[in-house]
């Protein structure tokens, strides 16, 4: 329901301010796409929710009391294969994939900046 109302608000803003560019970026949708297609994007499908840098093991390798860099935390061997860096932030590679989704794969409308495809 939130996104439906947000889209309605964006349409109203665009009508009210035709000289302005009002852009919408669906970060959550892009993140879900990354999770759904993680393996084909080169991420470790067995560790989708596991933080690369953290403590606690388990499903998330995340403990709020022991964030990345605190005593007892460790960093995974191949961060480029992980989506989550520390349970809060994405890895550098995941941010790169996120940017690709937002700028080139239709998760932003209109695309905030037009980059030439490489």
Q: What does pTM read for this prediction?
A: 0.82
Q: What is the three-class DSSP state of 6?
A: helix
pLDDT tens string 33-92: 999 999 999 999 988 999 999 988 788 998 888 889 988 899 999 999 999 999 999 999
Domain that holds residue 65: 26-107
Instruction: Classify residue 81: in a domain, yes or no.
Output: yes
Q: Cβ atoms within 10 A of the Cβ of 8, count?
A: 10
The pLDDT assigned to 113 comes to 60
Number of domains in the chain: 1
Burial of residue 61 (number of CB atoms within 10 Å: 0-12, 13-18, 19+): buried
Distance CA 86, CA 13 (A): 36
Quick one: pLDDT band at residue 23, thresholds 50, 70, 90?
confident
Asked if residue 44 belongs to a domain, the reply is yes
């Amino acid at each position: 329901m939130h996104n439906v109302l947000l889209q309605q608000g964006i349409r109203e803003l665009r009508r009210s301010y035709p000289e302005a560019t009002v852009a919408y970026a669906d970060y959550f949708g892009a993140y879900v796409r990354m999770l759904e297609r993680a393996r084909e994007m080169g991420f470790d499908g067995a560790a989708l929710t596991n933080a690369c840098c953290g403590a606690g093991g388990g499903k998330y390798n995340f403990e709020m009391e022991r964030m990345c860099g605190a005593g007892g935390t460790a960093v995974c061997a191949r961060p480029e294969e992980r989506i989550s860096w520390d349970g809060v932030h994405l890895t550098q590679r995941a941010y790169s994939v996120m940017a690709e989704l937002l700028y080139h794969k239709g998760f932003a409308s209109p695309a905030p900046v037009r980059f030439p495809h490489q």
